Chains A and B, each alone.
Chain A
């Protein structure tokens, strides 16, 4: 059974069809990569899957349960779906540690001490334990993203969605975030990652999903995409990415 799955998901903003009839599923322990040109609907799809936005139509299943028609407690489910954003989105009034502690304390109900201990573990995983008491504005973009990842993993989610977590970073800062994500994938974390980092995709993705204009154009293994994509659009886009 898939941890997270959508069937015929469509999201329309006014006249813009941002996501059109998308169906996909992520099984336990899998890493899938979504890629595609700007405006192809990656962020919108991820926000819908993260239950941060309601799809216009279609069904979302979490562990096989239809989320919307069975009227699930969305906040309970959101806590089980980690989300890492494109723009660093740390809470600016809290330290790195405070950012990770917040959900543990106020969503999962940990005591202050337990929450801090668990938060420090998560910060260690992303190699940010020495920066625990710094505020977001005192950290580099890459460091902020790693804290953002720690904030997500500390909740022990069943799946983590990443929305181009390195797109806003300088080249030198990308690798530190990517390497943290690779560690997570190697450890068997279930993840769906929107990214254009092809090396990451090649090394860890079980499957790559190419989107364009809101639709899934092609699904395949990294080998397939690197050797010879089946569709013309995917071929052109891969060629552009590989420069």
Chain B
């Protein structure tokens, strides 16, 4: 496997891209998920319909098709041309947001029933009720579901290869094209993915243990 050392910069860049796309995808997805969950719980009829069309569409179609749609079809319709990496971020965020909306809505509803009136009776405005009562509880409840999402998003980033993003797997493909050593290259790539994802999950487990509160277990 030592020949891979010749490509170390290339591999490192690919890996950094993969990490970035994953974290930004899940991070933006979380913001979208929170907004969509809030919209679905508190929004008017029209907002609810929009949220549900968004969620069903992104959960119900293949990620690769979504990538093509955003990279090729969207510019054709709107004239806005996105570079591959932006298209990648956007698609993954939209896709992840659709899934996260589900977990977050469940968690918020679990918090909501008995806690909202109590907070309201203290005179807290809605914004502060969300900030100090609903979201802190919902986030704790949602951490386990969220680590699944992180692991699945980390793997989904490999789909970006279809629009030519130089992510980690794609660097492997290029190296194989030059060296004709698929066995070692892909073994290495897979092991790195595994170690990375495994350690992220472990870290989240530790975070979860630290912020865990008696009586506030996840509802799954």
Q: Which of A50, A102, A152 has the most CB of B within 10 A?
A: A102
Give chain B residues whose Cβ lies under 8 Å from the Cβ of A71: none
B215–A85 contact, CB under 8 A?
no
Across the interface, A137 reaches (CB within 8 A) one of B115, B118, B137, B215, namely B215
A92–B215 contact, CB under 8 A?
yes
B214–A137 contact, CB under 8 A?
yes
**Which chain A residues have a beta carbon within 8 Å of chain B's beta carbons?**
47, 50, 52, 75-83, 85, 87, 89-93, 102-103, 106-107, 135-138, 148, 151-152, 155
List the 10 closest A-B pairs by CB distance, nearest first. A137-B215, A79-B123, A83-B121, A103-B122, A89-B118, A78-B123, A75-B123, A137-B214, A107-B123, A93-B137
A155–B140 contact, CB under 8 A?
no
The residue of chain B having its C-beta at the shortest distance from the C-beta of A105 within the complex is B132
**Which chain B residues have a beta carbon within 8 Å of chain A's beta carbons?**
111, 114-115, 117-125, 128, 132-133, 136-137, 140, 213-216
New A-B pairs, 12, CB < 8 Å, besides A102-B122, A138-B215: A50-B121, A75-B123, A78-B123, A89-B115, A91-B133, A92-B115, A102-B124, A103-B122, A103-B124, A107-B122, A137-B213, A137-B215
A78–B118 contact, CB under 8 A?
no
CA distance A81 to B216 in the complex (A): 28
CB<8 Å pairs between A and B, sample of 23: A47-B117, A52-B120, A77-B123, A78-B121, A83-B118, A85-B114, A91-B133, A92-B111, A92-B115, A92-B137, A92-B215, A92-B216, A93-B136, A93-B140, A102-B119, A102-B122, A103-B123, A103-B124, A106-B132, A107-B122, A137-B215, A151-B122, A155-B122
The number of A-B residue pairs with CB atoms under 8 Å apart is: 79
A214 shortest CB reach to chain B, Å: 20
Known contacts A102-B132, A106-B128, A136 near B120 by CB under 8 Å: no
A211 shortest CB reach to chain B, Å: 21
B121–A92 contact, CB under 8 A?
no
Across the interface, A81 reaches (CB within 8 A) one of B118, B121, B125, B140, namely B121
CA distance A91 to B137 in the complex (A): 9
B118–A91 contact, CB under 8 A?
yes
Give chain A residues whose Cβ lies under 8 Å from the Cβ of B214: 135, 137-138
B117–A89 contact, CB under 8 A?
yes
B114–A78 contact, CB under 8 A?
no
